[in-house]
Amino acid sequence: MSLAKKMINEWKAYLWIILGSFITALSINVFMVPYKIAPGGVSGIATVIYYLSGERFPVGLTMLVLNVPLFIAGWRYIGGKFALRTLFSTIFLSFAIDGTEKFTRYFVESYLTKPGHFPSTPDLLLYSIFGGFMMGVGLGIVFRWGATTGGTDLGARIVNHFIPNLTMGQLLLFIDTSVIILAAVAFQSFQLALYAIVTLFVSSKVIDALLEGVNFAKAVFIISDNSELIAERILKDLDRGVTGLKGTGMYTGHDKKVLLCVLHRGQLPTLKEIVRDVDNRAFIILTDIREVLGEGFKTYEQ
């Protein structure tokens, strides 16, 4: 890859990180801090400190201070490009939260809680769900482009580096539980803790969807005595590639060719019709696929 292309990719990554951090900042300012919803993380701790201090310590600045030791740990264990991007994202998020605080407060007071626009009594369940979705989108974008926003996000990324079997969403859900308990005690509200759990759950699912993809494709295994004819029809009628795998029937001892085909869900009815027409005794196995990279599907990124 040429130097110019590397520079373009790097700028592209930082632009996406800015967008993701900004979306996260808006979700915190609009749907969480005003209603004392603290869905874990450094932002949750900062929200607790903000209210316990009589609103003297800005949420963004507090998050930046709390992130320092975690960032040092992240630099030590991961380092390089990831740490630089995380430093940038952490600082930008903190300034975005404090920088948009007055605007978002005006928006909340003028629209979200003003009769005639929204109910005068906030619908905390709706806010916790949409806030979690918005935060998940923001954090998912940041994670996807090789950074975190610090806090337990960074802690989850460090753990994920050593235990890749656990997803980022699962790690965040586990780590942030203790922060939710702290907020529940500080605000003396079990109800707010439940709303925070809803927000955290929604955000973790959105993060996983953005990082790992959603179930938009199917993998199909076809076992038939007429595999050659079925493969020919799939190639012609569906314009999909087919791979022949060697298989052996353990009961009969006969060798058979197992067909593997990856296709969009909308093509399943046509594929079933093809198999039925060629061999109505064929064995078909369908399975969901989280993400497919390659020709006919998504292109490789980064």
Contacts of 5 by beta carbon, 8 Å cutoff, 6+ apart: none
For 68-77, write each residue's pLDDT tens digit.
887 887 676 6
Q: What is the pTM of this model?
A: 0.74
Burial of 171 (0-12, 13-18, 19+ CB in 10 A): buried
Distance CA 214, CA 205 (A): 10
What band does 28 get if pLDDT is binned at 50, 70 and 90?
Answer: very high
Q: In this structure, what are the phi and psi dihedrals at residue 88, rounded to the nearest 5 degrees?
A: -60, -45
Segment 191-199 shows an average pLDDT of 93
Across 56-60, 88-92, 175-179, least confident range: 175-179
For 78-121, write each residue's pLDDT tens digit.
666 777 888 899 999 999 999 988 888 777 777 666 555 555 56
* Concatenated DSSP letters of 44-68: HHHHHHHHHTTS-S-HHHHHHHHHH
In the structure encoding, which two tokens stand for residue 118, read together?
A: 């929204």
Segment 179-190 shows an average pLDDT of 91
What's the pLDDT score for residue 59? 93
Question: Which of 163, 265, 173 lies closest to 214, judged by CA?
Answer: 265
∠ CA(87), CA(38), CA(33), 5° rounding? 85
For 139-154, write each residue's pLDDT tens digit.
999 988 888 887 776 7
Percent of the chain with pLDDT over 90: 35
Fold classified for 217-289: Alpha-Beta Plaits (3.30.70)
What's the pLDDT score for residue 290? 72
Segment 121-132 shows an average pLDDT of 88
Any idea what DSSP says for residue 226?
T
pLDDT exceeds 80 at position 206: yes
Burial of 139 (0-12, 13-18, 19+ CB in 10 A): buried
What band does 299 get if pLDDT is binned at 50, 70 and 90?
Answer: low
Q: In this structure, what are the phi and psi dihedrals at residue 252, rounded to the nearest 5 degrees?
A: -90, -25
What band does 302 get if pLDDT is binned at 50, 70 and 90?
Answer: very low
Task: For the chain, report the end-to-end CA distance as a whole number of angstroms.
Answer: 11
Domain locations along the chain:
3-212, 217-289
Instruction: Tell me the chain's radius of gyration from C-alpha atoms.
Output: 25
